[in-house]
Structure 1
Amino acid sequence: MENKYTKKYVKVIAEFEEDGRIIPLRIFWEDGRVFEIDRILDVRPGVSRKVGGQGIRYLCRILNKEVCLFYEEPRWYVESK
């Protein structure tokens, strides 16, 4: 079965806290759209089962949809069809 997902590297605006936590705020899509992260639901070290790779996985709510955003130092990506 062919993998229908790819790593989609994205520009992210994030806040860096004094204790070292990284909090993503906005995701910029290549076509110019900007998505505000409404809420971060979970943060943990994780792997992407759909596209491979590992790093910090942020489970985010964006426009009432759950989206996994990964920080694989030094870049950010989402799983894209």
Structure 2
Amino acid sequence: MSTVPRYIREYVDVNVDFDKDGRMLPKTLIWEDGHRYEIDRIKAIQPAPALKAGGQGDRYTIVIKGHERYLFFEHNADYGDEKIGKWFVERKVAP
């Protein structure tokens, strides 16, 4: 019997630069245990849902140590709040 994997949104800290056009460019992803992952490259940025874990925002297709991953930025709905949004990844959990 096969079980379908389940995914959750894992919120993470991200160090970000901004370019002169105002784009957010993530540089480092910091996992919950404090481990830091340098982002080698950003391949794409587009509005997209997190299909596995649910949620909506900007999906960054990133490369870390040769592996392509998705990093999501979830915008805060309260315009004018000092917290503009949160970063998350889709993490597989035991069924």
- TM-score tier after normalising by the smaller chain length: over 0.9
Q: Determine which of 25, 49, 52 is the counterpart of 1:50.
A: 52
Q: 1:5-44 residue pairs with structure 2 within 5 A?
A: 5-44=7-46
The TM-score with structure 1 as length reference comes to 0.93
Please identify runs of 4+ aligned residues in structure 1 that moved more than 2 A.
none
Equivalence for 1:75: 86
Q: Aligned partners of 2:65 and 2:32: how far apart in 1?
A: 18
With normalisation by structure 2, the TM-score equals 0.80
Amino acid at match of 2:12: V
Aligned residues: 81
Q: Extract unaligned runs of 5+ from structure 2.
A: 76-84
- Percent of aligned positions that are identical: 43
What do the CA deviations read for 1:11-56 (whole angstroms, capped 9, x no partner)?
0000112211100000001111000000001111111110111111
Residue 3 of structure 1, CA deviation:
5.2
Measure, in 1, the Cα distance between the counterparts of 2:56 and 2:7: 15
Residue 6 of structure 2: SS of its match in structure 1? coil
